[in-house]
Amino acid sequence: MATILVVHGAWSGGWAWRKTSAIWRAAGHEVWTPTLTGLGERGHLASSEIDLETHIRDIVAVLDCEDLEEVVLIGHSYGGMVATGVAQRRSERLRRLVYLDALVPEPGEAVFDLVPPQAAARMRAAAEAGGDGWRIPPDPMPPDTPAEDVLYARPRRLPQPIRTFEQPLPSSAVPKLPRAYVVCTRVGPDDTFRRFAERAAREPGWTLETIDASHGPHGTCPDVLAGLVERLL
């Protein structure tokens, strides 16, 4: 059985993984779905000082305090930034990195370097207009999200501190670990994450998988996602 640690995406929390984590636990895996500082049930800690470093340290602390070893670390969406930073510091605790429709930064890159310029401009403007300059309102959920899931998620999806998108990944090298990229196929041709899947297809050391889902398969097709990840363990 595996030890699975999930880094959720922006505006989200560990709560968003309840469906998929239940499947893994039923199969006997040890599953951790911590919520990053300032989001979800930790929203009361939100401040303009929270940055990418804060979130990397959140996950490093889970690894260290729980003494986790041979971990399969999954980064979803923005969580790919955090997972990469964790790999820089605790590669000895990791068995594999799995990027789920996620950003895969190089050292020195920030979220705003990796998303389309118009998306970055839109989020900055939204933070200025309604978030005191530092709170980015949540993006819409995938259109195929079940209505009951939208109702459940709406009060739990909180603004993202802008410095988590502005701060670049530390410049230290990323150790060579076994890596997998899982790309969600129900997107347009200009999808933010497509180029990372293309990178995984051409670079050695990667396994590339596809899933017939929109950007949130842990909510829209948890059985399919859980089974796919189990094949990668």
Question: What's the domain range around 92?
Answer: 3-232
Distances in Å between the Cα of 74 and the Cα atoms of 99, 118, 127, 130, 135 are 6, 28, 28, 32, 25
| pLDDT attached to residue 17 | 98
- In DSSP notation, 85-118 reads HHHHHHGGGEEEEEEES---PPTT--HHHHS-HH
Give pLDDT tens digits for 185-213: 998 656 899 999 999 999 999 999 999 99
CATH code (residue 17): 3.40.50.1820
Give pLDDT tens digits for 54-97: 999 999 999 999 999 999 999 999 999 999 999 999 999 999 99
| pLDDT attached to residue 109 | 98
| pLDDT attached to residue 191 | 81
Which residues are catalytic, by number? 77
Name the token pair of 125. Answer: 């403007």
Name the token pair of 203. Answer: 């670079």
Structural domains of the chain, count: 1
Percent pLDDT > 70 in the chain is 99
**C-beta separation of 13 from 39 below 8 A:** yes
pTM of the model: 0.97
Mean pLDDT for the chain overall = 96
**CA neighbours within 13 Å on the CB side: how many for 203?**
15
